[in-house]
Amino acid sequence: MRELFDFAAEALANFVSSEGEDFHLPPGRQRELGFTFSFPVRQLSIASATLIKWTKGFSIEDAVKLNPFAVSHVNDTIGTLAGGRYYHPDVIAAVILGTGTNAAYVERAHAIPKWHGLLPKSGEMVINTEWGNFRASHLPLTEYDQAPDVESLNPGEQIFEKIISGMYLGEIVRRVLCRMAEEAAFFGDTVPPKLKIPFVLRYSFRLDELILMKHLLNEAIASHSIIPSYMDKTDIEYFFENKNGWKKLGRDTVKEGDNQRSVIALDGGLFEHYTKFRECMESTLKELLGDASDSVVIEHSNDGSGIGAALLAASHSQYLKVEES
Ligand code: GLC
């Protein structure tokens, strides 16, 4: 853990030292840094957070308390939401579809039973849903999904994430390929030994190649009826927690004279490189929301989380300045 943060600090120091000679901070001002962390954190204040648990195959003993050097410490979905909102005031949710998957959205503060503090002036708060941890008996889990979960460091957790996200896609593909090699001599008489190494596809392929491979395999498998093709619509439906999420926000129907847009800031390699996934998402939205889906816009937010964290740091320090004066 120390090495990771040493590395981040060094990269930051290099960046600062590369600034032009004519750059000077105003007297009495410190630099303000935004920091996003792609793991679930308990937010103690904007500048301080503690790790709740590791996900995505990480397990590091050291306790993580994120407060030594940054003005804002937020989960990556919160950063993406803040960054997205800066560019489009209609952004109401942020979704990450990459190595892991998660979403954050803007909720009316009075509708949050867990919150016992003062209500914010805006009446709104952001919620990090950690939807990667979603599981339900309706989720179509195949044996190829179950095996990596059982053998993972956190069995029974992050099920939704494990069946769709970039971190696990390669492993699912490997297991399907292995079965095809064993039962249908897909690669000739012998199973390639490399294929038996868990997570080998994760390390030797780029995410977009893996995505393409899983897509091709799904099609091949579906047409040969070896196993059902389970990726696609069913997965996507869970993304939007069915219609209920939209109902909760009052955005599931079109009201007369209502031209309010609901923009979703979306980031991550899975969304960026897997066109079919994106198409499915759009058609499922249409199916779930009908005409109301016309007012839902998905915006790709490239590296939005880092920018969002920096903007949060900047706006927080402005707020402190106003409070002081
Ligand atoms: C994992 C983490 C979550 C993060 C997501 C996307 O699901 O638990 O905090 O937002 O990955 O990086």
pLDDT digits (tens, 9 = 90+) for 141-177: 999 999 999 999 999 999 999 998 888 888 888 898 8
User: Who has greater pLDDT, 263 or 186?
Assistant: 263
Average pLDDT over residues 10-28: 84
Ligand 1 atom 2 nearest Cα: 39
Distance CA 304, CA 76 (A): 9
For ligand 1, mutation pick of 74, 154, 160, 161 (most atoms within 8 Å of CB)? 161
For ligand 1, mutation pick of 96, 165, 167 (most atoms within 8 Å of CB)? 96
What are the φ and ψ backbone dihedral angles of 35, each rounded to 5 degrees?
Answer: -140, 125
Average pLDDT over residues 55-62: 84
Residues ≥6 apart with Cβ < 8 Å to 172: 144, 145, 148, 163, 214
pLDDT of residue 151: 92
Distance CA 286, CA 289 (A): 5
pLDDT of residue 68: 54
Q: Is the pLDDT of residue 237 over 60?
A: no
Q: Ligand 1: distance of its center to the CA of 159 in Å? A: 12
pLDDT tens digits for 91-106? 999 999 999 999 999 9
pLDDT tens digits for 116-129? 889 999 999 999 99
pLDDT of residue 323: 75
pLDDT of residue 207: 57
Q: Ligand 1: distance of its center to the CA of 154 in Å? A: 14
Cα–chain-centroid distance for residue 101? 4
Whole-prediction pTM: 0.81
What is the residue type of 221?
Answer: I
Q: Ligand 1: distance of its center to the CA of 39 in Å? A: 5
pLDDT tens digits for 282-315? 888 899 989 888 899 999 998 889 999 999 998 8
Q: Is the pLDDT of residue 202 over 80?
A: no
pLDDT of residue 92: 95
With a Cβ cut-off of 6 Å, ligand 1 is lined by 38-40, 55-56, 75-77, 96, 100-102, 130, 132, 161
Buried b (16+ CB within 10 A) or exposed e, 161-172: bbbbbbbbbbbb
Q: Is the pLDDT of residue 229 over 50?
A: no
Residue 321, CA distances (Å) to 116, 122, 130, 212, 314 in order = 27, 19, 33, 50, 11
pLDDT of residue 218: 62
pLDDT of residue 258: 58
